Amino acid sequence: MRIPFSLLAFTLALPAAAAEPINRPTPGYVRVRLTTSAGPIVLALDARRAPRTTANFLAYVDDGRLDGTVFYRSARKKIDPKAGFIQGGIRQDARRMLPTFPLEKTTQTGIRHIDATISMARPAYGGSAGGNFFITVGAAPNMDAKGSYEGYPAFGRVVAGMDVVKRILALPTGGGSGAMKGQMLFRPIAIVNARRLDGKPKPTGLPKPWLMGLPVRE
């Protein structure tokens, strides 16, 4: 059957849909592979819509600041234990910290906390984040900015390895205090290394005291 010329012309005139990040080079995204003791996780970071948050994460990656850290938290929803988020990174290791940066709210970037989103953990005061991040399992709209609530800076999504994320979420937990009570992994999952898969590394050139045998300052 022939398609009428007018309909074909109209179809060709429609704007192209925004490219969704997938596990291959995609314009506007930078992929990072986390090699963990539970298996690999590949992330696609949205450098176009969340440039500052992406640049911060890539600085930790390119400096090797995430190498040898862990996933230490599994926060499961009480009403649905198969949903929630896992959290990892440098914790409070001051030797690995980089300066904080302005918060990129979800209302500014348009990146929502849907399933498989990576976002930066952050304190309730000052800056936007450091070297700790989390990955969602299921939607988490409560983490999006709304009104005076600034939320958390989502900046990409998992494009491979969600089975690994879900296995970590299901691991036994306990301990902790405050918001983290009962959510600390009894056996943290090692982040052996983190490497960018797209583009050239851009290390900060700053000192790496954690490699010099200096004690942890928390």
Distance CA 149, CA 11 (A): 41
Q: What is the pLDDT of residues 72-130, one digit of tens each?
A: 999 999 999 999 999 999 999 999 999 988 899 999 999 999 999 999 998 766 566 78
Average pLDDT, the chain: 90
Q: Provide the 8-state DSSP code for 146.
A: B
At residue 9 the predicted structure's pLDDT band, cuts being 50, 70 and 90, is very low
96: tokens are 């690995």
Q: Which domains does the chain have, with CATH numbers?
A: 26-198 (2.40.100.10)
Q: What is the pLDDT of residues 67-79, one digit of tens each?
A: 999 999 999 999 9
Indicate the burial class of 132 (C-beta count within 10 angstroms; 0-12, 13-18, 19 or more): buried
Beta-carbon count within 10 A of 81 CB: 11
